Chains A and B, each alone.
Chain A
Amino acid sequence: MTVMEYRNVLAEFQGEEGELIPILQRIQEKFGYITEDAIKNISPFLKISENQIYGVASFYSQFRFTEPGRNSIKVCMGTACHMRGGQILGEAVERELDVKPGQTTKDKRFDFHRVACLGCCALAPVIQVNEDIRSRMNVIKLKEMLDKYE
Chain B
Amino acid sequence: MSKPSETITINIDNQFLQVGAGKTILQAAEQNHIYIPTLCAYKDLTPFGGCRMCIVEVDGLRGFPTACTTPVVEGMNIRTNTVQLQNIRSEILQLILSEHPCSCLICDEQEECKEFSGTIRKATVTTGCRYCPNDGQCELAEVAKKVGVKEINYPINYRYYRVEREDPFYDRDYNLCILCGRCIRMCQEIRAANALTFKQRGQKTVIGPAYNRTHIEAGCEFCGACVSICPTGALSEKTRKWEGKAEREEITTCALCGVGCQVHLQIKGRDIIGALPADDPLINNGQLCVKGRFCIPELINNHQRLKKPYRAHDGLKIELTFEQAIEEAAKKLAVCPPNEFGMIVSQNITNEDLYIAQKFTRAVMGSNNIDTMARIYYGAGLNNYVGLMKSSATLESLRKAATILCIGLDTRYGGSVVGVELRMANRKGAKIITINSHPHNLSIVAHTWLKPESGEEVGFIQSLARLIGKAKSKRPDAKSETKPHPSDNDIETAARILAESSSVIILIGSDVFKYLNSPKVLEEIGKLARSLQAEIMPLPAQNNFNGALLMGAYPELLPGGFSSARKDKQAQLGEIWGSQIPDWATSWNAEAVMTGKRMKILYLIGEVPLRERPASDFLIFQNLYPPESIYRTDLVLPSAAFTEIDGTFINGEGRLQRVRKAVEPPGFALPDWKILCLIAQKMGKKGFDFDSVDDVHKEISCQVNGFSSLDNIKRETVIMTLEPACLTGKSDFAIDPYQAPDSGKANMEFPYLLHTAISEHTYRGFPLASYVEGLKKLFIEATLEISPEDAKKAGLISGDEVIVTSAKFEKTWPARIMAEQTAGILHVTLPQGEVPGRNPYPVRIRKKNV
Cβ 8 A contact of A52, one of B197, B200, B443: B197
Interface residue A49 (Cβ < 8 Å from any Cβ of B): yes
Please indicate which of the listed interface residues B193, B200, B201, B444 has the most CB atoms of chain A within 10 Å of its own CB: B444
Q: How far is the CB of A60 from chain B (nearest CB, A)?
A: 8
Tell me if A58 and B200 are in contact (CB < 8 A).
Answer: yes
Q: How far is the CB of B203 from chain A (nearest CB, A)?
A: 13
Tell me if B445 and A47 are in contact (CB < 8 A).
Answer: yes
**Nearest-CB residue, chain A, relative to B192:** A49
Tell me if B201 and A51 are in contact (CB < 8 A).
Answer: no
Q: How far is the CA of A39 from the CA of B195 in the complex (A)?
A: 14
Tell me if B210 and A39 are in contact (CB < 8 A).
Answer: yes
Cβ 8 A contact of B194, one of A44, A49, A59: A49
Cβ 8 A contact of A44, one of B210, B218, B443: B443
Tell me if B444 and A43 are in contact (CB < 8 A).
Answer: yes
**Nearest-CB residue, chain B, relative to A49:** B194
Tell me if B195 and A49 are in contact (CB < 8 A).
Answer: yes
Interface residue A13 (Cβ < 8 Å from any Cβ of B): no
Cβ 8 A contact of A36, one of B196, B199, B211, B218: B211
Q: How far is the CB of A113 from chain B (nearest CB, A)?
A: 16
Tell me if A59 and B200 are in contact (CB < 8 A).
Answer: yes
Interface residue B584 (Cβ < 8 Å from any Cβ of A): no
* Chain A residues positioned under 8 Å from B198 (CB to CB): 55, 59
Please indicate which of the listed interface residues A48, A53, A56, A59 has the most CB atoms of chain B within 10 Å of its own CB: A59
**Contacts A58-B200, A59-B198, A59-B200: A51 and B210 contacting too (C-beta < 8 A)?**
yes
Cβ 8 A contact of A51, one of B196, B443, B445: B196
Tell me if A54 and B443 are in contact (CB < 8 A).
Answer: no
Interface residue B414 (Cβ < 8 Å from any Cβ of A): no
**Contacts A58-B200, A59-B201: A52 and B194 contacting too (C-beta < 8 A)?**
yes
Cβ 8 A contact of B211, one of A47, A49, A54, A56: A54
Interface residues on A, range: 10 to 19
Please indicate which of the listed interface residues A43, A51, A55 has the most CB atoms of chain B within 10 Å of its own CB: A51
* Chain A residues positioned under 8 Å from B687 (CB to CB): none
Q: How far is the CA of A51 from the CA of B199 in the complex (A)?
A: 9
Q: How far is the CA of A39 from the CA of B193 in the complex (A)?
A: 17
Tell me if A50 and B201 are in contact (CB < 8 A).
Answer: no
Tell me if A53 and B210 are in contact (CB < 8 A).
Answer: yes
CB interface residues, B 204-227, toward A, < 8 Å: 209-211, 218-219
Q: How far is the CB of B496 from chain A (nearest CB, A)?
A: 19
* Chain A residues positioned under 8 Å from B211 (CB to CB): 36, 54
* Chain B residues positioned under 8 Å from A36 (CB to CB): 211
Q: How far is the CA of A84 from the CA of B528 in the complex (A)?
A: 78
Tell me if A54 and B197 are in contact (CB < 8 A).
Answer: yes
Q: How far is the CA of A51 from the CA of B198 in the complex (A)?
A: 9
Q: How far is the CB of B686 from chain A (nearest CB, A)?
A: 62
Tell me if A47 and B444 are in contact (CB < 8 A).
Answer: yes
Q: How far is the CA of A61 from the CA of B194 in the complex (A)?
A: 23
Q: How far is the CB of A118 from chain B (nearest CB, A)?
A: 22
Q: How far is the CA of A39 from the CA of B210 in the complex (A)?
A: 9
**Nearest-CB residue, chain B, relative to A40:** B210
Q: How far is the CB of B193 from chain A (nearest CB, A)?
A: 8
Q: How far is the CA of A97 from the CA of B172 in the complex (A)?
A: 34
**Nearest-CB residue, chain A, relative to B187:** A51
Tell me if B197 and A51 are in contact (CB < 8 A).
Answer: yes
**Contacts A36-B211, A39-B210, A44-B443: A51 and B200 contacting too (C-beta < 8 A)?**
no
**Nearest-CB residue, chain B, relative to A43:** B444
**Nearest-CB residue, chain A, relative to B443:** A44
* CB 8 Å contact bits of B441-455 with A (1 = contact, 0 = none): 001110000000000
Q: How far is the CB of A20 from chain B (nearest CB, A)?
A: 13
Q: How far is the CB of A13 from chain B (nearest CB, A)?
A: 16
Tell me if A54 and B210 are in contact (CB < 8 A).
Answer: yes
Please indicate which of the listed interface residues B210, B218, B219, B445 has the most CB atoms of chain A within 10 Å of its own CB: B210
* Chain A residues positioned under 8 Å from B445 (CB to CB): 47
Tell me if A51 and B195 are in contact (CB < 8 A).
Answer: yes
* CB 8 Å contact bits of B121-161 with A (1 = contact, 0 = none): 00000000000000000000000000000000000000000
**Contacts A36-B211, A39-B210, A50-B210: A55 and B443 contacting too (C-beta < 8 A)?**
no
**Nearest-CB residue, chain A, relative to B199:** A58
Q: How far is the CA of A48 from the CA of B444 in the complex (A)?
A: 7
* Chain A residues positioned under 8 Å from B199 (CB to CB): 54-55, 58
CB interface residues, A 45-88, toward B, < 8 Å: 47-56, 58-59, 61
Q: How far is the CB of B800 from chain A (nearest CB, A)?
A: 26
Tell me if A51 and B209 are in contact (CB < 8 A).
Answer: yes
Q: How far is the CA of A65 from the CA of B497 in the complex (A)?
A: 39
* Chain B residues positioned under 8 Å from A61 (CB to CB): 201
**Nearest-CB residue, chain A, relative to B194:** A49
Tell me if A52 and B201 are in contact (CB < 8 A).
Answer: no
Q: How far is the CB of B210 from chain A (nearest CB, A)?
A: 3
Q: How far is the CA of A56 from the CA of B201 in the complex (A)?
A: 10
* Chain B residues positioned under 8 Å from A50 (CB to CB): 209-210, 218
CB interface residues, B 403-452, toward A, < 8 Å: 443-445
* CB 8 Å contact bits of A13-37 with B (1 = contact, 0 = none): 0000000000000000000000010
Tell me if B219 and A49 are in contact (CB < 8 A).
Answer: yes
Interface residue B188 (Cβ < 8 Å from any Cβ of A): yes
Q: How far is the CB of B828 from chain A (nearest CB, A)?
A: 28
Q: How far is the CB of A96 from chain B (nearest CB, A)?
A: 25
* CB 8 Å contact bits of A90-103 with B (1 = contact, 0 = none): 00000000000000
Q: How far is the CB of A86 from chain B (nearest CB, A)?
A: 21
**Nearest-CB residue, chain A, relative to B200:** A58
Tell me if B218 and A51 are in contact (CB < 8 A).
Answer: yes
* Chain A residues positioned under 8 Å from B188 (CB to CB): 52
* Chain A residues positioned under 8 Å from B195 (CB to CB): 49, 51
* Chain A residues positioned under 8 Å from B193 (CB to CB): 49
Q: How far is the CA of A53 from the CA of B444 in the complex (A)?
A: 13
Q: How far is the CA of A50 from the CA of B212 in the complex (A)?
A: 12
**Nearest-CB residue, chain A, relative to B198:** A55
Please indicate which of the listed interface residues B195, B197, B218 has the most CB atoms of chain A within 10 Å of its own CB: B197
* Chain B residues positioned under 8 Å from A51 (CB to CB): 194-197, 209-210, 218-219
Q: How far is the CB of B63 from chain A (nearest CB, A)?
A: 25
Q: How far is the CA of A51 from the CA of B220 in the complex (A)?
A: 10
**Nearest-CB residue, chain A, relative to B215:** A51
* Chain A residues positioned under 8 Å from B210 (CB to CB): 39, 50-51, 53-55
Tell me if B201 and A44 are in contact (CB < 8 A).
Answer: no
* CB 8 Å contact bits of B704-730 with A (1 = contact, 0 = none): 000000000000000000000000000
**Nearest-CB residue, chain A, relative to B195:** A51
Tell me if A49 and B444 are in contact (CB < 8 A).
Answer: yes
Q: How far is the CA of A54 from the CA of B210 in the complex (A)?
A: 5
* Chain A residues positioned under 8 Å from B200 (CB to CB): 58-59
CB interface residues, B 160-175, toward A, < 8 Å: none
* Chain A residues positioned under 8 Å from B218 (CB to CB): 50-51
Q: How far is the CA of A44 from the CA of B219 in the complex (A)?
A: 14
* Chain A residues positioned under 8 Å from B201 (CB to CB): 58-59, 61
Q: How far is the CB of B798 from chain A (nearest CB, A)?
A: 19
Q: How far is the CA of A61 from the CA of B443 in the complex (A)?
A: 31
**Nearest-CB residue, chain A, relative to B447:** A47
Q: How far is the CB of B201 from chain A (nearest CB, A)?
A: 5
Q: How far is the CA of A134 from the CA of B386 in the complex (A)?
A: 79
Q: How far is the CB of A83 from chain B (nearest CB, A)?
A: 24
* Chain B residues positioned under 8 Å from A43 (CB to CB): 444
Q: How far is the CB of B488 from chain A (nearest CB, A)?
A: 16
* Chain B residues positioned under 8 Å from A47 (CB to CB): 444-445
Q: How far is the CB of B427 from chain A (nearest CB, A)?
A: 11
Q: How far is the CA of A61 from the CA of B197 in the complex (A)?
A: 17
Q: How far is the CA of A47 from the CA of B194 in the complex (A)?
A: 11
Return 5 A-B CB contacts under 8 Å, by A number. Answer: A48-B194, A49-B195, A51-B194, A52-B188, A53-B210
Taking beta carbons and an 8 Å cutoff, which residues of A are in contact with B?
Answer: 36, 39, 43-44, 47-56, 58-59, 61
Taking beta carbons and an 8 Å cutoff, which residues of B are in contact with A?
Answer: 188, 193-201, 209-211, 218-219, 443-445
**7 nearest CB pairs, A to B:** A55-B197, A54-B210, A49-B194, A51-B209, A51-B210, A51-B197, A50-B210
Given A49-B194, A59-B198, 5 more A-B residue pairs with CB atoms under 8 Å apart are A36-B211, A48-B194, A51-B210, A52-B194, A58-B199
